[in-house]
Amino acid sequence: MPEVLSPGATIGILGGGQLARMMALAAAPLGLKCHIYAPEGDNPAFDVAAHRTVARYEDAAALARFAASVSVVTYEFENVPATTASVLAPLVPVLPGPQALATTQDRLTEKDFIRATGLETPAYRAVDSDADLVAAVEALGRPAVLKTRRMGYDGKGQVMIRPETDLANARRTLGGAPAILEAFVPFEREVSVVAARGRDGTVHAFDVCENEHRDHILARTTVPARLAPAARHAALEHAARLATALDYVGVLAVEFFVVRVEGMERVLVNEIAPRVHNSGHWTIDGAQTSQFEQHIRAIAGWPLGAPQRLGRIVMDNLIGAQADDWQTLLASPGAHLHLYGKAESRPGRKMGHVTRVFAEDVGDEPGETR
């Protein structure tokens, strides 16, 4: 069992992006220092951390020095290379643990795992060859989505199989990588549950989030999601069940499709992100405890905080040039602006977000009676 941290301890974080940055900003008020490990590049987390290492994720010597300097290691992305985890794990506790990483890094393993816990997912088939793809499309029909098993995010590593799509071409688009074909689900909405599980097994979930994507990138999260009570209850239960089955420590997000079956709303598990999640950014301003603080508390071996919402929430991502509106947002009463300190704005790049907290059921002005 990893030690319970004391204030003054240092947390190691793999990755230097905005998630690591917001973790470090949450760790500081708890008296914890952070050591960020990231390859060369634009690493906004460096600006708010006590210690920084610039090195490749495969650099065993740098990883060993990093491990020696921290009490626990966590990460901001699920694609931590297996070599990185295998160098670190014997030297320092890595949380969430190896099982969570191994399960969620591979879409096929992940979906098999989700089904094994008794939960529903869209239908899927493994695709390792052109012949596999032909058979899978025959079984699942068109449209369907072909996704690489590894390394996909924000719509990268996937291609839609439409009636007219040439199958061999589609596989080539993904470089012939091991893939899965997922049945297209005519969903009504996408929702997610961000939940924390402590070392003692306690699970505290934030309320269900409703997510709108544009160009495969999260654009807006509203909380609470529009969802029938039974489906809301199911989503929260499913997230807790998956966290427990993974023996998870930290924050995870479970994304769901909301479908209507015989007039009733049902939630199908789309995927699990073994980390703090964009759809949970609203918790910084809109919940008693933020997802970042929850994650730090969990991996420190500390009790979780209260996850209650402070109102109705609208969180908008600032993608690319949208962050150029910072002056308008700064002057907008009740808009909580968060910029990630990235040196360069690019189309599709997450530059920041803005959260508005509205009094529950009263008025439409943010923060009126918060």
Interface with its own copies (CB under 8 A): 7-8, 21, 24-25, 28-34, 46-50, 288, 297, 302-303, 306, 308, 310, 323, 326-327, 330-331, 333-334, 337-341, 343, 352, 367, 370
CA–CA separation, 240 and 224 (whole Å): 18
- In 3D space, the residue among 170, 104, 186 whose CA is nearest the CA of residue 134 turns out to be 170
Alpha-helix residue ranges (DSSP H) falling in 175-282:
229-245
Contacts of residues 41-46 at CB distance under 8 Å and 24 or more positions apart, as own/partner, are 41/16, 42/342, 42/343, 42/344, 43/16, 43/17, 44/16, 44/17, 44/18, 44/340, 44/341, 44/342, 45/13, 45/15, 45/16, 45/17, 45/18, 45/20, 45/21, 45/76, 46/16
10-14 and 33-38: which strand pairing? parallel
**Smaller CB separation from its own copies, 93 or 286:** 286
* Residues ≥6 apart with Cβ < 8 Å to 327: none
Q: How far is the CB of 26 from its own copies (least distance, A)?
A: 10
Q: How far is the CB of 7 from its own copies (least distance, A)?
A: 5
Q: How far is the CB of 289 from its own copies (least distance, A)?
A: 9
**Smaller CB separation from its own copies, 170 or 287:** 287
- In 3D space, the residue among 22, 20, 147, 30 whose CA is nearest the CA of residue 73 turns out to be 20
**Smaller CB separation from its own copies, 81 or 303:** 303
**Smaller CB separation from its own copies, 52 or 150:** 52
* Residues ≥6 apart with Cβ < 8 Å to 222: 209, 210, 312, 313, 314, 315
Q: What separation in angstroms does the CA of 7 have from each of 28, 51, 262, 297?
A: 9, 16, 53, 11
Q: How far is the CB of 367 from its own copies (least distance, A)?
A: 5
3-state secondary structure 304-370: CCCCCECCEEEEEEEEHHHHHHHHHHHCCCCEEEEECCCCCCCCCCEEEEEEEEECCCCCCCECCCC
**Smaller CB separation from its own copies, 312 or 338:** 338
- In 3D space, the residue among 221, 231, 122 whose CA is nearest the CA of residue 180 turns out to be 122
Q: How far is the CB of 296 from its own copies (least distance, A)?
A: 11
Q: How far is the CB of 243 from its own copies (least distance, A)?
A: 20
**Smaller CB separation from its own copies, 113 or 358:** 358
Q: How far is the CB of 51 from its own copies (least distance, A)?
A: 9
**Smaller CB separation from its own copies, 148 or 278:** 278
Q: How far is the CB of 70 from its own copies (least distance, A)?
A: 14
**Smaller CB separation from its own copies, 61 or 331:** 331
**Smaller CB separation from its own copies, 8 or 90:** 8
> What are residue 160's DSSP bridge partners?
145
70-88: burial string, b at 16+ Cβ within 10 Å, e else: bbbbbbbebebeeebbebb
Q: How far is the CB of 36 from its own copies (least distance, A)?
A: 12
Q: How far is the CB of 86 from its own copies (least distance, A)?
A: 30
- In 3D space, the residue among 197, 355, 205, 186 whose CA is nearest the CA of residue 278 turns out to be 355
**Smaller CB separation from its own copies, 84 or 289:** 289
